[in-house]
Every structure is written in C-alpha cells, then in structure tokens.
C-alpha cells in the first residue's frame, strides 16, 4: 500500500491501511451495520452464514497485531489490503438493504426507505466514473497516436526489432500493442526516475547507461551531449519519442538526433547508431528440453 | 471481423467453462446450478491449463506446441461433457426457460445490467502500470513463440523465470488463444476476458440473490444493489475497482470471482437444497485454478477458506473436515513456499538449460 508500511506504523498500520482502502467511502461502516442488523434481526440461516466469518475476520485480518506478526515472515506492507477483500461487503450490504426496503410498509414508508438507502449508497461511495468516462478510440484500447508512431518507426527502420525510448505512458503501453518495439528502459527504472534524481556517482556508472537517458529525459538533469549519445549507443537505442513540448528537444537535436516524423502531440527523433547490432531471438531449436534450476543457498 | 471473432470466442469460453464445470457439479439424482457449474468450470479450465502449460514452459518448448496440445482438451472435454450430461443440460435450459416466464423482470434486469456493465468495461480506456507486464507478456509470448522467457517490459531475454509471474499461467492461456485465433492480444485481454469476467461475476450475483432472497422484488433489489456497490465502492485498492477498471487482470479474478464463489460454496453447506456433497472437491478445483490467475490468490484464498470453513467444521463438530479443507488450499501453500524461497534467493529456474 503506497506510503504505508508495517515497519514504520506498527500496530497503527492496520487502521491506516483500512482508512486508505475505504478512501472515505461508507461501505465498510455499512458492512459493520449490516452485521449488527443480522445479529439482531437476521434469520438463523443468515447468522450462520455471516456472523462466524465476521467474528473470525475481526480477530484475525482486522486485528492490528496480525500485520505486525505476518511482516516478520513475509513483507506484507504492500499487499495486506487485499485481505480486506475477504469481507463479503458486496453481498451483505446489498442483502440487508434489500431486506430493509422490502420489509418497510407499503406506500410512502417503502418509498422513503428506498430513497434513503439509495442515497446512502450513492453519497457514501465514490462513483467509478466520477472523473468522467474515457472511451477507447480503437479496438486495441491504446492511444491512436501510439499506433501511428509504431508504424512510423517500423517504416523507417531496416530491422525487424527496433529499440526506442518513450515517455512514461507510452513506455508502459507500446509493448502491449507492438512486441517488436524493444525498450531501453523497463518499468521499475522508469518509476524510479519519476520519483528520484540521479547522483553524480550513478551517472558515472557505465554499467547502467539507461540511467543517463532517464536523468536527462525524465529528471531534466544536465548531461553532456556525448554522455547522452554514448548511452544511446550502449543501449542500441535508435529512436527517441518525446512530447512536442519536452524541454530537452533542443538538446537532443544538438546531440545529433533528427526528426523522422511527428503526430499531433509527439515527435519521433532518430539517432544514427555508431555500431548498430540487430536483435535476434534466442535459438531454442537445438537445446535439450530439460528442467534447469540451481540451488543458490 | 475482429469484433465478430471476439464475440464468438466469448461464447466458446462459456461453452468450455460449462463443459469443464459439469464434471464437478452435475450429479444425476440431485439439483444443480448452472451458475456454479460455469464458475467452477472457469477454474477447472485454468487448473487443467496450468498443469499442461508448466512442464512445457519450464522445458523451453515453444508456445505453438502448447497451443497444439491445448486444442485437444478444448475439443474433447465439451464433446465428452455433451455426451455425458446432455440430458441434464437440456433439462436445465428448459427449466431456465420456464423460470424466465415466471421471473421475467429479474432476467431482464440481470441481462440489462450485465450487458451495460460489460460494454462499459470493454469500451473504456484505462491506463494501468500492471498492464505493461500482463498484456505485454501475451504479445511477447505470441511474437517470440516462447513462454515467459522474454521480459515483457523491454523485450529482452531473461536469464531466469520471474517466479512472481511464472505460475500465473492465466496470461499464457491468452497467448495460446491469440496464437490459435490470430486475435490481437489487446483484444483478447482487455475486451474478451474483460467481458468474460464481468459476465461471470454477474452470473454469480444473480445466483446469490436468488438463493438468499425469497421474494422476487427482493431478488431484483439485491442484485441491482450488488452491482451498484461495485460502481460506488471505489478506491485504488478495492476489489470493486479491479472489477470496474482492471477487469481482465488475475487480481480481478481472485477478488471478484474466486472469493465470491468460495463464499457461495460455503453458503451451500449451510443452506442449499442443491448441496451436492462435492463442495470440497469444487473448493479444491477453485483453489487450484485461481492459483494460476494471480499470486494474490496465494495469500487471500487460504485466508478466506480458513475464515469460512474451519469455524463451520468446529461448530458442526465435524473435525474430520479440517484436514480436507487444508488439502484444498495446498496449491496456494506450495506456491507461496516456492515463491518465498525464490525471493530469499534459495534457487532460480533458468530460461536456458545449464
């Protein structure tokens, strides 16, 4: 869970986690109220179904000590919230709501009860499309421009596989559409660059040329032109795709890259690699098909 | 043409799930549920697929070999199922038709809400970081004709299998389907599987509301409110959010189908006239199948099974049930152990023989 971990929060972790999980919605409170309703007014069958699990959940998953104990065995900080999925909120709350509405006396009382419950559901929740519904513009469900850029690069390139640098969203999306587009930066490296700057020591490490690309193109840190082009050569990256307003476009052009095309919001720049090599898939046709593992400890 | 193919595939998926599930749900002398058959069949399908896929993947055989082999159960199981359960299927569909006449409003509401919800998730655009792995692993596997030996993020060759994902053969199935049907990976994952999951969830919701509520009005109300809860119970962490925005992901399968189905199987023990005596077998199939959807299942499913079934066994003074329940979650326990040993650096499984 982002920004909350068991080590720092100790027994306060569970409540913080629950607070982030519910995000101001009232559904967890409604779940507790529904349990109370079942205890007081539920049938024997309803109590047998819903009450034992609620009690066990309360003393296990919702016990502030549980994540602290579990964390000594596994790192549970990032995924503990998924245990909250076990509480059958989506079953019990609607069930009790439907019982309350249908048990109300016919006429005005039923109407008012239904309206009140509908209001609690709507006002006590966060509507999934509250910030608007974004419809996909093509069957691939990626931006149209990404498809155009992919076609543009393959048309320009002489090789089957090409390696490129894309900015954040396109970097995450391009290989979902185009597996022949190789990337010089993987997801974790990109996420690091979004959050942290690179130290001089990191930029001097020639084993990680991608850090130089990220420092310049994500962090806007200063680099010499040959540091940038050497990083492109080291990673065999021939194409750089940037948004048109990117502040490093003049620098990138001065380093020797030139535009081969553009879309409404992006520009595709090419670098003539000093010593390009063609990417080839590993040949498995001759290998022995046997399971291979190694004990490391 | 792609849309037509995707719709056909959607139908084929449900025929396969019903065929696989029939073996675990239908007993000649007892009542049975089409909803439970379909949902259990979903996990039976993925459990069998995982058992076929893993040896092929771990011995570096090509995806095309897996595709070729996987055609066999996909052809044989529906045929065998149709031969064995034909009469029960015909009777069930006839029952459903007469039930539709009596409960027209319920069926119309369920159909309308399901179609709207499926259309919303299929037609929406969502950017998620995790798709950079999951969907790209499908495109990469299809393109390279190998299974999980290349890094979906970059396309580079991997030195060893990434064990966090290697048992999640749910996505390898997408690659097989893409290879067999020539459907683009993005269409298979984000449209076909999104629709499959949304429809399955609605089938289960309809089943639960029919079983828990005795009046027709209450059944309709409960079903509508269940779906309304999914539209409203939204933070980036809730299972409802996964259902509405990351529908095709394995985590969505765990949070919205597996957890609900395990709850249904548990509720059956207490209430149902459709109790088949096979609930624990079905539970095992669900646990085995869902372990191939996402590593999240390794933590969540054993916890839920213990929370529901162990107190039940204790209250019913049926302590012999406890070892059987623990056996059901064995797939998750094994996978969790393997993963923890890998994370702690005890071993690595290579992508090339050494």
DSSP label at residue B277? S
Please tell me the distance from the alpha carbon of residue A263 to that of residue B339, in angstroms, as a whole number.
44
pLDDT of A297 > 70? The answer is no
Closest-CA residue of A relative to B235 is A23
- Spell out which residues of chain B touch residue A20, defining contact as CB-CB under 8 Å: 235, 237
pLDDT of A296 > 70? The answer is no
Same domain, A114 and A150: no
In the prediction, which pLDDT does A107 show? 85
Report how many domains make up chain A.
Answer: 2
Asked if residue A131 belongs to a domain, the reply is no
pLDDT of A249 > 80? The answer is yes
Whole-angstrom Cα Rg for chain A: 28
Q: What is the DSSP string of B201-248?
A: HHHHHHHHHHHH--SHHHHHHHHHHHHHHHHH--STTSHHHHHHHSTT
Please tell me the distance from the alpha carbon of residue B187 to that of residue B285, in angstroms, as a whole number.
28
Same domain, A159 and A49: no
Same domain, A98 and A149: no
Please tell me the distance from the alpha carbon of residue B163 to that of residue A111, in angstroms, as a whole number.
55
Q: What percent of chain A has pLDDT over 70?
A: 99
Asked if residue A164 belongs to a domain, the reply is yes
Same domain, A81 and A154: no
pLDDT of B43 > 70? The answer is yes
Same domain, A103 and A37: yes
In the prediction, which pLDDT does B297 show? 95
Site of tokens 């089943």: B207
| Range name among A9-23, B131-145, B268-282 with the lowest pLDDT average | B268-282
Same domain, A108 and A152: no
Please tell me the distance from the alpha carbon of residue B303 to that of residue A282, in angstroms, as a whole number.
41
Closest-CA residue of A relative to B267 is A49
Q: Where are the domains of chain B?
A: 2-343
In the prediction, which pLDDT does A206 show? 86
Can you give the residue range of the structural domain that contains A211?
144-270
Q: Tens of pLDDT along A223-244?
A: 999 999 999 999 999 999 999 9
Interface test with B, best of A175, A190, A210 (most B CBs within 10 A): A175
In the prediction, which pLDDT does A285 show? 84
How distant is the Cα of A251 from the closest Cα of chain B, in angstroms?
A: 25
Whole-angstrom Cα Rg for chain B: 20
In the prediction, which pLDDT does B344 show? 83
3-state SS of chain A is CCCCCHHHHHHHHHHHHHHHHHCCCCHHHHHHHHHHHHHHHCCHHHHHHHHHHHHHHHHCCCCCHHHHHHCCCCCCCCCHHHHHHHCCHHHHHHHHHHHHHHHCCCCHHHHHHHHHHHHHHHHCCCCCCCCCCCECCCCCCCCHHHHHHHHHHHHHCCCCCEEEECCHHHHHHHHHHCCCEEECCCHHHHHHHHHCCCCHHHHCCCCCHHHHHHHHHCCCCCCCHHHHHHHHHHHCCCEEEEECCCCCHHHHHHCCCEEEEECCCEEEEECCCCCCCCCCCCCCCCCCCCCCEEECC
Residues in chain A: 297
In the prediction, which pLDDT does B73 show? 97
How many CB pairs below 8 A link A and B? 272
- Which among B132, B156, B236 has the least Cβ separation from residue A172? B132
Average pLDDT score over residue span B134-138: 96
How distant is the Cα of B234 from the closest Cα of chain A, in angstroms?
A: 5
How distant is the Cα of B44 from the closest Cα of chain A, in angstroms?
A: 22
Asked if residue A78 belongs to a domain, the reply is yes
- Spell out which residues of chain B touch residue A289, defining contact as CB-CB under 8 Å: 59-61, 353
Q: Tens of pLDDT along B56-72?
A: 999 999 999 999 999 99
Q: What percent of chain B has pLDDT over 90?
A: 84
Q: Tens of pLDDT along B193-226?
A: 999 999 999 999 999 999 999 999 999 999 999 9
**B35 compared with B162, residue with greater pLDDT:** B35
How distant is the Cα of B24 from the closest Cα of chain A, in angstroms?
A: 23
Answer yes or no: pTM beyond 0.90: yes
Q: How far is CA A142 from CA A130, B1, B248, in A?
A: 22, 19, 15
In the prediction, which pLDDT does B164 show? 83
Confidence of residue B82 (pLDDT cuts 50, 70, 90): very high
pLDDT of A204 > 90? The answer is no
Cβ neighbour number for residue B350 with a 10 Å cutoff: 17
Average pLDDT score over residue span A250-271: 96
| Range name among B36-50, B199-213, B331-345 with the lowest pLDDT average | B331-345
- Which among A122, A175, A294 has the least Cβ separation from residue B232? A122
Asked if residue A137 belongs to a domain, the reply is no
- In terms of Cβ atoms closer than 10 Å to its own Cβ (0-12, 13-18, 19+), residue B114 is buried
In the prediction, which pLDDT does B276 show? 64
Average pLDDT score over residue span B16-27: 95
pLDDT of A14 > 80? The answer is yes
8 Å CB contact of B229 and A93:
yes
Q: Tens of pLDDT along A127-143?
A: 999 999 999 999 999 99
pLDDT of B16 > 80? The answer is yes
Confidence of residue A63 (pLDDT cuts 50, 70, 90): very high
The ipTM (two decimal places) reads 0.95
pLDDT of A294 > 80? The answer is no
8 Å CB contact of A180 and B143:
yes
- Which among A49, A74, A130 has the least Cβ separation from residue B270? A49
| Beta carbons of B222 and B214 less than 8 angstroms apart | no
Same domain, A156 and A119: no
Asked if residue A288 belongs to a domain, the reply is no
| Beta carbons of B235 and A25 less than 8 angstroms apart | yes
pLDDT of A108 > 70? The answer is yes
Residue A254 dihedral angles phi and psi, to the nearest 5°: -65, -25
| Beta carbons of B175 and B182 less than 8 angstroms apart | no
Site of tokens 């048990």: A103
Same domain, A162 and A203: yes
Same domain, A234 and A186: yes
Same domain, A109 and A184: no
């Amino acid at each position: 869970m982002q920004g909350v971990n068991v080590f720092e929060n100790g027994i306060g972790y569970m409540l913080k986690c629950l607070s982030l999980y519910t995000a101001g919605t009232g559904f967890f409170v409604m779940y507790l109220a529904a349990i109370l309703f079942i205890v007081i007014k539920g049938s024997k069958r309803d109590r047998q179904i819903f009450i034992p699990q609620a009690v066990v959940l309360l003393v296990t998953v919702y016990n502030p000590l549980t994540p602290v104990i579990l964390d000594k065995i596994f790192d549970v900080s990032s995924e503990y919230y998924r245990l909250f999925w076990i509480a059958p909120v989506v079953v019990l709350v609607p069930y009790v709501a439907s019982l309350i509405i249908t048990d109300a006396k016919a006429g005005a009382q039923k109407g008012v009860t239904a309206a009140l419950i509908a209001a609690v559901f709507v006002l006590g929740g966060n509507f999934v499309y509250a910030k608007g519904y974004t419809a996909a513009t093509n069957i691939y469900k990626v931006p149209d421009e990404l498809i155009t850029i992919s076609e543009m690069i393959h048309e320009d390139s002489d090789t089957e596989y090409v390696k490129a640098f894309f900015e954040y969203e396109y970097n995450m999306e391009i290989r979902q559409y185009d597996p022949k587009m190789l990337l010089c930066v993987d997801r974790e490296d990109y996420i690091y660059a979004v959050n942290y700057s690179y130290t001089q020591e990191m930029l001097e490490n020639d084993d990680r040329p991608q850090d130089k690309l990220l420092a310049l193109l994500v962090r806007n840190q200063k680099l010499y032109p040959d540091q940038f082009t050497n990083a492109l050569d080291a990673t065999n990256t021939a194409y750089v795709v940037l948004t048109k307003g990117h502040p490093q476009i003049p620098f990138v052009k001065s380093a020797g890259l030139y535009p081969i095309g553009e879309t409404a919001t992006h520009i595709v720049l090419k670098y003539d690699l000093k010593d390009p090599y063609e990417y080839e898939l590993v040949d498995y046709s001759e290998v022995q098909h046997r399971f291979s593992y190694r004990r490391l400890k | 043409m792609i849309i037509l193919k995707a719709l056909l595939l959607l139908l084929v998926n449900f025929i396969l799930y019903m065929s696989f599930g029939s073996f675990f749900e239908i007993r000649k002398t007892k009542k049975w549920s089409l909803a439970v058959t379909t949902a259990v069949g979903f996990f039976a399908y993925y459990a069998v697929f995982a058992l076929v896929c893993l040896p092929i993947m771990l011995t570096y055989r090509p995806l095309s070999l897996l595709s070729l082999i996987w055609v066999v159960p996909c052809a044989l199981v529906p045929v065998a199922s149709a031969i064995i359960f034909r009469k029960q299927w015909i009777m069930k569909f006839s029952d459903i038709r007469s039930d539709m006449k009596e409960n027209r409003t319920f069926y119309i509401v369920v159909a309308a809400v399901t179609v709207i919800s499926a259309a919303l998730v299929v037609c929406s655009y969502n950017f998620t970081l995790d798709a950079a792995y999951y969907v790209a692993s499908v495109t990469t596997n299809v393109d390279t004709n190998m299974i999980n030996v290349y890094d979906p993020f970059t396309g580079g060759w991997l030195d060893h299998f990434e064990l966090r994902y290697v048992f999640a053969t749910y996505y390898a199935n997408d690659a097989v389907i893409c290879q067999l049907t020539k459907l683009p990976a993005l269409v298979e994952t984000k449209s076909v599987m999104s629709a499959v999951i949304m429809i399955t969830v609605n089938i289960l919701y309809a089943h639960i509301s029919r079983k828990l509520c005795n009046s027709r009005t209450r059944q309709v109300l409960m079903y509508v409110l269940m779906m309304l809860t999914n539209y409203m119970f939204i933070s980036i962490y809730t299972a409802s959010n996964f259902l509405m925005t990351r529908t095709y992901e394995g985590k969505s399968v765990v949070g919205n189908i597996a957890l609900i189905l395990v709850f249904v199987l548990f509720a059956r023990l207490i209430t149902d006239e459709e109790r088949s005596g096979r609930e624990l077998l079905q539970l095992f199939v669900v646990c085995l199948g869902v372990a191939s959807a996402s590593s999240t299942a390794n933590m969540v499913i054993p916890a839920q099974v213990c929370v529901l079934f162990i107190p039940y066994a204790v209250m019913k003074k049926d302590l012999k049930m406890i070892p059987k329940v623990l056996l059901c979650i064995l797939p998750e326990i094994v996978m969790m152990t393997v993963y923890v040993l890998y994370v702690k650096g005890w071993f690595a499984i290579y992508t090339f023989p050494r």
